[in-house]
Structure 1
């Protein structure tokens, strides 16, 4: 940025890319006032430059050749919005090595190649900004990075996948099963045809990696922490916990300090109805952060979509223009799995669902096994929901170690009167 004009190159003219172009056209006067620079979207590169995007673009700005951006010495900021690992990694590294600042929404790439990307930015004295990679349009990473910088962060709890949250919300509000809501979400465009990434927790995990870096200065790869999705949640789980206990089920990313160790995990979690996170419904996202000085802070908003995410992308561009020397506090981080608390050593209260034949002594046998593994019962409920021979049993435990719980459930599942594999959900206790 050698003069009063900032030249931007956009790689990826899809949903978010078209949102970036739309906002720049609609709000250019405001953006230029806030940046005190003239903003010039000089080139847009995509493999498809013929399909209408709903926004007018000068054909001279369109190209299918990425080098029209990467080799252009006048381009100051490169926006990468193609997603995935390759060729996005190659494009980002080449841009950084050419001395260009980079803005990206690519949480998967950052989560996997953090050290390589941050090292390249530091070596070339340029910035890599990625506000849009977590929480879409929610101002989240910069506040965590800057506004809360005086705090030792104690915990981060995030509902950060809109597809999973939409499914659980519909199941809760309408009593529908997982498969029917998933099909509806796909029909409405809230979910991809292949939803594995969303409903199995991987998208949440990648975003949680970035939150953990900025919150705790620790880099943890996904394969080294527990990631669990929502496919096994049933309407019975939702109804029992909502009506009997006042809890809702959310897919939660958790990163927190306990016993001088760091817990990082993703799984369905039972949250009390009066907790702020319990009210995060539909495709919205919410992140609840606790600092030692500020206390609890809640950030809420649209976690995806063309315009909200594009808003964060352009915000990053303005931050680079106004603060080109600002660095990411923690820089490259080598992973240290030894500092992580294993999921087996986590202690929690648990909700357990069993299905057993209604025979004398079944509950006694179950309670005996739980007791053998140092697990005490807070409550138990047995409800016959249909005409079948097996009856659902819902158990809530007091706090116990996960290793003990898994061992106990393995023994319980071996009982001849147990007709389905047991299922459990962890209960949030602050």
Structure 2
């Protein structure tokens, strides 16, 4: 979608994503699985995938088969992992597209076997499907519980002997990796090692075993195993605020909109729905044409000026005043009168003093993942290549 001049816009720097992939792969020292689910965390799935591969990512990963199939249809090559199926999942389409699908249960393996039996040349080059097994090591979300590991691994091995599939991976997901001292991290890692041992005892020889997400990929070397799965860090955002060293990752997304009105506000004037905020003195207000219909969190509203989200206008940060509405919100210009059409930068890398997605997350009481993933609505999204911002490549070289 091409933006209309002056129209609210999400700008994504694919050069930043490429460089972030390079940095993450070099830091982890193992293959990188680039997670581009949820439309690339709001950055554009296909564009983010291309950038990640250009930066040295070895695999792509998404949540749903539909996302994985969309990547294939867009011409993305190589290995693509997906993991969140439903009872009506079309496994035949997944196998025809040479996707690596994930099974949590024997029932899912049986469905995959049924699909594989009806296809010729599906899956990997040797004609078998590619399947990964997810085990629950303590997140208590998706994945086979410990009580079902033995049955799952036995059925997986039987399917290999029958020629239905090749088990390409065993994996799990951490619950508390953003808190490096949390005891759950040690417990889950130990549990995952037990799962790998049990899988191998059943005769499985998975291509990769992977546990680490972005935070663990950066902070926990012992959890890296054969590959790391990086999502939020790929887009330059901190997966563990307060704990993450500066690797040189660069936020890839900038969100901006033009001011569409500037007006005076008298002392005592109530602003927006419910008059959550009233002017304490004479000031000026700017109207930004974005709201929760575009993914701007309503929680960015605040009666306390100290906790309100801010935008950058005319070189200064301006706090949101009153409630965020469906289509618009108001900022306090503190007596300044920038022209209509002046840029209001909601968040970006922070190079020019603008807030970051992390700043917005803290103001809204949420995480940076939610800020960038939910943004969009009626906004246009454009991609540009700001060039590599440094960092070693997979072989240790620099651009």
TM-score (structure 1 length as normaliser)? 0.29
Name whichever structure is richer in helix by fraction.
1
TM-score (structure 2 length as normaliser)? 0.30
Name whichever structure is richer in strand by fraction.
1
